[in-house]
Structure 1
Amino acid sequence: MSHHDDEQAARLERARQIGLFRYMLIREAADPSLSGRQRGALVRKLAGEEHADPDGRRIRISRWTLDRWILEWRQGGFDALVPSPRQAQPRTPPEVFELAGALKKENPERTAAQIRRILKAQIGWAPDERTLQRMFNRTGLTSLRAPKQTEIFGRFEADRPNELWTGDALHGPRIDGRKTYLFAFIDDHSRAIVGHRWGFAEDTVRLAAALRPALSARGVPQYIYVDNGSAFVDSWLLRACAKLGIKLVHSAPGRPEGRGKIERFFRTVNGEFTVEIASAHGEVGREIKDLAEMNRLFTAWVEHSYHRREHSETKMAPLERWMAGAPFPVPSPSDLAEAFRWSEHRSVGRTGTVSLHGNRYQVDPRLVGRKVELVFDPFDLTFLQVRCDGADAGTAQPFQISRHSHPKARPETPAEPARPTTGIDYLGLIDRAHATDLSSRVNYAALHPDPAEPVETVDLTGG
């Protein structure tokens, strides 16, 4: 047997050993008699442990890789788990590996999948995720943090787009020393992000800035599912949903069932978007000047990257799956404006006046002694609509004004400009690609309120 034949036989044997390693790892979880919940528990357990590979190295296998191996085994048996024999010489240029290693050292939080995206955006090509992960394992660059163990729940998926939206808030990085928060809503059926907004506060104003454009562009869902955070239990949200015929559902305190998809999306945000933003602690990445830039870059990432790629569970791009159910009826501008006004109840005094947050207003004298509903724009307390027993009762005339906006309606303040850093700007690459693509794509205007309604023209970004 020639030397070449010896090498070929060695490569074939190694490929067989890898296939055997994969099969031994998944054989219990691949049992067809297991339920989806039982299989999920076994896969999570395997992903949380270290395993000895054919070379004797201690490695970790991600849950997603284990799921893929199980699927391949079901479709093609053992042969499907055996990789193609390796080439005698590596096909990945060493300078690409050097750049990948440098990106990992710059920010250890970057995953192999994220570094592959950066390489592809920067040089137009990148090795696959497994190749990069093997290189990280071999060079000691792999993160040693074990995945967090979480309670396991059964799976659920809405039957159609806009049947169920799930909303939640993510604590984000700091900009100019101020902490940011992301409000986002995900369509349960398609995994499309129907609304989103970064802000400097986790309050009802920032929540409205994410939800109102979503309803205007994507239509009205049947249900909105949220947790018990202060912004989500505010009476304003209950009123807005009631006006639009949306059933608002809150999860039980401490029980996360049903919010897994939005939490999974937030992990993607942290792994692909926020990981590329420089922090105050000196980490490399893009320095964000203000919230306007933050929201613009995030919109570019959602529309150009997240919405376009195939989702691991649905096997369709989120936007493509959501569009399969289109068109959806959207509320009229007047109905939307009415839903997003705030209201409070007050009793009319003997002099025919009412008080609201330090201001005094004159109302119809016939309302003296009665309890009325005051409907208003939280950013403009100079104009109030009055309702009594659900009927229109005119407007309240300003008598003494000391406050022009609601105490909870705090606009964002601009941040000081920051100098850009050197190195590869992944978010900038995505932003430029998205800007180039806008000429041929629909703009859902997710960050822009309806210009016809002055009630929503307040600039929350500070831009």
Structure 2
Amino acid sequence: MSKADEEEKARLERAQAIGLFRYMLIREAADPSLTSRQRGALVRKLAAEPHTDPDGRVVRLTRWTLDRWIALWRREGFDALVPSPRQSQPRTPPEVFELASALKKENPARSAAQIQRILRAQLGWSPDERTLQRMFIRTGLTALHAPIEPAAFGRFEAGHPNEMWTGDALHGPRIDGRKTYLFAFIDDHSRAIVGHRWGFAEDTVRLAAALRPALAARGIPQYIYVDNGSAFVDSWLLRACAKLGIKLIHSQPGRPQGRGKIERFFRTVNGEFTVEIAAGDGEVGRRITDLAEMNRLFTAWVETVYHRRTHSETGMAPMARWMEGAPFPVPAPGDLAEAFRWSEHRTVSKTALVSLHGNRYQVDPALNGRRVELVFDPFDLSFLRVRVDGGDAGTALPFQINRHAHPKARPEIPAQTPKPTTGIDYLGLVDRHHREDLAARVNYAAFGYDPPEAQFFDEAFPDGRIPDPE
């Protein structure tokens, strides 16, 4: 056998091995008896796990690739899973991969794009950038990093009050077995607490309960600096800040630098406020009976203790330093209400209807097929404003209402649904009838004589003995 024939045979064998590898992966998921949901679960599981290919490499496959193989097998059988013998051979020579690996090890800071440029300059051509990236991942070279000097962070302080507020959430003690959360915003310049609110959930509704009164009373800051918690990345907060002209800034994941002031305040809260109301097991003591009382006591502590005490860093009381920049412009009530409404985008159907969380609304027929913005109060879905390209387009009239509040707009204390009852006390009725029967009977002993039946037996059987019938 010639060398060319041996190479062709090797290519055929490798192609068959690849086809068999693909079939072994999808054989369970390709079972026609499975439902779409069952097949989807199997495909997701396969996509989440690493697999060893015929070359011994550990590879991961996307759901799209697995679905494509299943479709090919169902349409054309096993042969459709076998690649062309020419395509089954690696297209990049091993020596090129070795040179790329050497370049990466030589300088771990080099990206795949940079190594591609070096190879192209050295060899006249280069594999695709994505091919190099996959090779680096497969061989573990992506774990190499250039030496990084430890970052040095200088101390930062805003130049004036209301330049920047920093917001965060604190996990607090429990009330009646329910965990509490504190949303708070601190002015970076003065360290004054401009807004705060204790709640039973760490969500956007409780965040709004802390931020909205702060804006109404303390004015509008230039920046609000927050982390990447779910409440702080919600589209509602971005819309509210955009409406009021506030620049919303999120810290980089894994880099909490810049939120030290609010974290220091939370340590003060735990050391001076929470410790006075929490028992050793974390349960709130008897002084705190409900959330309203906790918020009232916390407001009193912030205003009379924290705001009036000289801050160790600034040398001034937080509120006194914040007042140095007064007065601050506050938003108009209408503008504030508009900013704190929620909005979602929908496409108007051919029948001039839009759907929102199970409800359907009638809009202007001229908007058929248009993409519109629905603006609403999250606690009242019976009234929606319609916006098109930023302009007002009337209201959306309720057509079918199944939900009266947004799914995320959970009340502070969930309403207790009364258990349906007929109001009928069966045992009470039985007892009453029994007592009525007893009252209706004549008590002969109470009258001092025997009933007629008793007199008959006394006369017939004076000795009280009833003879045997025989």
Q: TM-score, normalised by structure 1?
A: 0.56
Describe how 1:16-415 pairs up with structure 2 within 5 A: 153-279=153-279, 281=281, 285-413=285-413
1-structure distance, mates of 2:284, 2:178: 18
Q: Find the aligned partners of 2:175 and 2:284 in 1 and give their Cα distance.
A: 14
Is the CA contact 2:173–2:284 (under 8 Å) kept in the aligned structure 1?
Answer: no
Counterpart CA distance in 1 for 2:186 and 2:372 is 37
For the 8 Å contact 2:174–2:283, the answer to whether it is kept is no
Q: Residue 187 of structure 1 aligns to which amino acid in structure 2?
A: D
Q: Write the distance in 1 (CA, Å) between the matches of 2:282 and 2:159.
A: 46
Amino acid at match of 1:184: A
> Per-residue CA shift, 1:254-281, capped at 9, x if unaligned?
1011100000000000000111113482
By how many angstroms is 1:414 displaced? 7.4
Distance 2:343 2:378 in 1: 9
TM-score, length basis structure 2: 0.55
Aligned pair count reads: 266
1:97-150 alpha-carbon deviations (Å, 9 max, x no partner): xxxxxxxxxxxxxxxxxxxxxxxxxxxxxxxxxxxxxxxxxxxxxxxxxxxxxx
Shift of residue 155 of structure 1? 1.1
Q: Letter of the 1:222 partner, please give it.
A: Q
Name stretches of at least 5 consecutive residues in structure 2 with no aligned partner: 1-150, 417-470
Contact preservation (8 Å) 1:224, 1:248? yes
Q: Cα gap change, 1:357/1:279 in structure 2, threshold over 3 Å: closer, same or farther? A: farther
Shift of 1:239: 0.2
- Partner AA of 1:406 in structure 2: H
Give the Cα separation in 1 of the matches to 2:399 and 2:175.
Answer: 41
Mapped partners of 1:401, 1:341: distance in 2: 19
> What SS does the corresponding residue of 1:273 show, helix, strand or coil?
helix
Whole-angstrom CA distance in 1 between matches of 2:207 and 2:382:
23
Question: SS state of the match for residue 330, structure 2?
Answer: coil
Instruction: Indicate the percent of aligned positions where both proteins have the same amino acid.
Output: 85
Higher relative contact order (CA 8 A, sep 6+): 1
Specify whether residues 348 and 279 from structure 1 end up closer, same or farther in structure 2 by C-alpha distance, changes over 3 A only.
farther
Q: Which residue of 1 aligns with 2:14?
A: none
Query: What amino acid is aligned across from residue 164 of structure 2 in structure 1?
Result: L
Change in CA separation of 1:402 and 1:279 when aligned onto 2, cut-off 3 Å: farther
Q: How far off its partner does 1:415 sit? A: 11
Tell me the alpha carbon deviations over residues 227-252 of structure 1, each in whole angstroms, 9 at most, x when there is no partner: 00000000000000000000000000
Are the structure 2 counterparts of residues 188 and 271 from structure 1 closer, same or farther at C-alpha, using a change threshold of 3 Å?
Answer: same
After superposition, the Cα gap between the structure-2 partners of 1:283 and 1:408, relative to the gap in structure 1 and judged at 3 Å, is closer
Once residues 255 and 347 of structure 1 are traced to their aligned partners in structure 2, the CA distance between those partners, rounded to angstroms, is 39
Please list every run of at least 4 consecutive aligned residues from structure 1 whose deviation after the TM superposition is greater than 4 angstroms.
Answer: 282-286
Kindly report the root-mean-square deviation, in angstroms, between the aligned alpha carbons of the 2 structures: 1.8
1: CA distance between counterparts of 2:344 and 2:184?
27
Q: Secondary structure at the residue paired with 1:326?
A: coil
Tell me the distance in 1 between the aligned counterparts of 2:389 and 2:285.
56
Q: How far off is 1:324 after superposition? A: 0.6
CA distance in 2, matches of 1:412, 1:169: 16
Which whole-Å deviations, capped at 9, do the CAs of 1:165-224 have from their partners, x for residues lacking one? 000000000110100000000000000000000000000000000000000000000000
**Contact preservation (8 Å) 1:173, 1:279:** no
8 Å Cα contact 2:177/2:283 also seen in 1: no
